[in-house]
Amino acid sequence: MNVLVVGAGGREHTICWKLKHSQIVKKIFCAPGNAGIGLIAQTVNIKVNDISGLINFVKKNRIDLTVVGPELPLTLGIVDEFRKRKLRIFGPTKAAAELEGSKVFAKEFMRKYHIPTAPFQVFSEFPDAISFVKSAAMPIVIKADGLAAGKGVIVAKTFDEAADAIERMLLKKEFGKAGEKIIVETCLQGQEISVMAFSDGKNIRVMLPSQDHKQIGEGDTGPNTGGMGAYCPVKFIDDSTMEFVSEHILEPTIAGLEREGRLYRGVLYAGLMLTESGPKVLEFNCRFGDPETQAVLALLKTDIGRIFSATAEGNLSGTKIEWFPGSAACVILASKGYPGKAETGKRITGLRNYTDKKCQLFHSGTRKEGKNWVASGGRVLGVTGINHDLKSALGSAYDVINSIKFDGMYYRNDIGFKANLQIKTVGI
């Protein structure tokens, strides 16, 4: 097959890298990609939201399968447009991608299908939301309904913080349309994990669990980012908890979507809180997580080209998915200022090809200036260590990081610090 990957980050670099190892993949294109992706795939200068541009490219270049990385084109309906034209594509339809595109839809869907999640209320009027929060217990969580680049969730410790978030969303309209409706929900306590599954619209294949590190600072401090690192698998989730996640969260979600005629052929990502009374959904994403993908796919043994094909065709029932033993851990190298305004344009030194299989480098935001590599984004590189256990995987990643340098380079030194926790989830 000739495959087109849509996206430009570390997640898409990882997908291209796995496709490179597929027995059934001939040529890999990536739109728009980045300079690092350009080392293993042919990059194409088309934006992820230029759906007609992507369709034209696919037709002209005899692309057999398109794989969509980010949520934006999915929520814009790229899959529906491709399917109308009988073009094969991996990703949920617009109606199914609403699970990520609208948190109000996702929460009401979960309530309807009894999928465990935090209790919540929806508001669109400022006074109603304020009077509800006045009598609610703190902390409390305020969420903008629509896509808000990871900034639409505020965990408020006091009434004043909650009121401020509500004011910014409903009165000041800082989030535009995304903040016209808000969710006010109970704050859950526990460990956060990510579980992704391939779904062909009926059948699912659950991937190994992983844990992201959303906050910028060590020890999970400071503002949220897109993710500063991830490791896989997560040993503190036992088999029975994974079975619960599959049976009570992932399967009913896909079954509910199918019942409502919302076709889901792609990756369903559940962000979960492992609470004392069992796993509960914090959020759904309609795509691979970033940087979870850089750790999870590093352990995938089965040919990803075959998995993508079977998923896109609605044919996963005959596909068995196997994993390599051991652990993988991805550490993100970011530019100074991230997650605020990042300083870009800094020259990167120390990049080379890592061929010992214990480390893979995934580019999130790099470009070439002549012979030099230059940082071009907030998240710049993901360094994934792969080894027989988590400690050695992290060692492999941090060893390589020691040789990479750019002005203002920042990374967390504590990825995986919660991996040895003993978690007791009861009530499941």
Residues interacting with ligand GLY, by CB under 6 A? Answer: 212, 227, 285, 289-290, 292
Q: How far is the CB of 256 from ligand AMP (least distance, A)?
A: 19
Q: How far is the CB of 282 from ligand AMP (least distance, A)?
A: 4
Q: Which CB sits closer to ligand GLY, 153 or 428? A: 153
Q: Which CB sits closer to ligand AMP, 6 or 141? A: 141
Q: Which CB sits closer to ligand AMP, 118 or 386? A: 118
The distance in angstroms from the start CA to the end CA of the chain is 43
Q: Which CB sits closer to ligand AMP, 71 or 81? A: 71
292 interface partner picked from ligand GLY, ligand AMP, none, CB below 5 to 8 A per type? ligand GLY
Tokens of 219: 């020890």
DSSP bridge pairs for 11? none
Q: How far apart are CA 347 and CA 166, in angstroms?
A: 41
192 interface partner picked from ligand AMP, ligand GLY, none, CB below 5 to 8 A per type? ligand AMP
DSSP bridge pairs for 183? 122, 143
Spatial CA neighbour of 365 closest among 338, 387, 389, 400: 338
Q: How far is the CB of 120 from ligand AMP (least distance, A)?
A: 8
Q: How far is the CB of 128 from ligand AMP (least distance, A)?
A: 20
Q: Which residues bind ligand AMP (CB under 6 A)?
A: 118, 141, 153, 155, 185, 187-188, 192, 214, 271, 282-283
CA-based torsion, 104, 109, 111, 114: positive or negative: negative
290 interface partner picked from ligand AMP, ligand GLY, none, CB below 5 to 8 A per type? ligand GLY
Q: How far apart are CA 235 and CA 202, in angstroms?
A: 28
Three-state DSSP class for 410?
strand
Task: Give the full edge-to-edge strand order of the sheet including 366-369.
Answer: 347-348, 372-375, 366-369
Spatial CA neighbour of 147 closest among 179, 106, 195: 179
187 interface partner picked from ligand GLY, ligand AMP, none, CB below 5 to 8 A per type? ligand AMP
Q: How far apart are CA 364 and CA 148, in angstroms?
A: 20
Q: Which CB sits closer to ligand AMP, 141 or 404? A: 141
